[in-house]
A = this chain, B = another copy of it.
Amino acid sequence: MTAPYVLNPLLDLVMERIVDVPPDLVWLAWTSPEHLKQWFCPRPWTTPVCEIDLRPGGQFRTVMRGPEGQEHDNTGCYLEVVAPSRLVWTGALEPGFRPSSKPDPSGVGPFTAIITIEPHGTGTKYTATAMHRDPEGCQAHAKMGFHEGWGAAFAQLVEMAHELQRTR
């Protein structure tokens, strides 16, 4: 069965990487709070809180903390959990599938994130997609630095995975 979502270049931001990290480590990095906290925010930001209830309808919460102590508390709802290849969540719903009432000061609006993790030789082809409701939200997210931010975070994920490979 094909995936149910259809991308649209006017509405979606996509980041692709091919890396020498096995798929199961990329999955672990996204689904274990202990591991996610180590890479999720580009330094010097950190991720002091991560709560994961890994099932459709379950909570995905992170708190991102900046160098001056400012915090962003983000709560989303998982939609698809297909280990070790696809993880989908949205900010348009609160955990438990309730429509979100969160205000949107950024102008980005809620987005749905799709992480796909495909085997590529002994490594992984990684794709992170952010689906927006309108072109304005998509452009605002690009301007806020989607590619730079998600790219820097993923580089930290790869670094952590290499360290795990050396020590296990």
Contacts and interface: CB of A to CB of B under 8 A. Distances in A.
A88 B97 contact: yes
B92 A99 contact: yes
A52 to B, nearest CB: 13
A58 B56 CA distance: 14
Interface in A1-19: 1, 3-6, 11
A93 to B, nearest CB: 6
A57 B5 contact: yes
Nearest to A3: B57
A112 B99 CA distance: 7
B4 A132 contact: no
A4 B97 contact: yes
Most buried by B among A53, A57, A98, A100: A98
Given A4-B57, A56-B4, A57-B4, A133 B101 contact: yes
A95 interface: yes
Interface of A: 1, 3-6, 11, 53, 55-58, 79-80, 88, 90-93, 95-101, 109-112, 114, 131-134
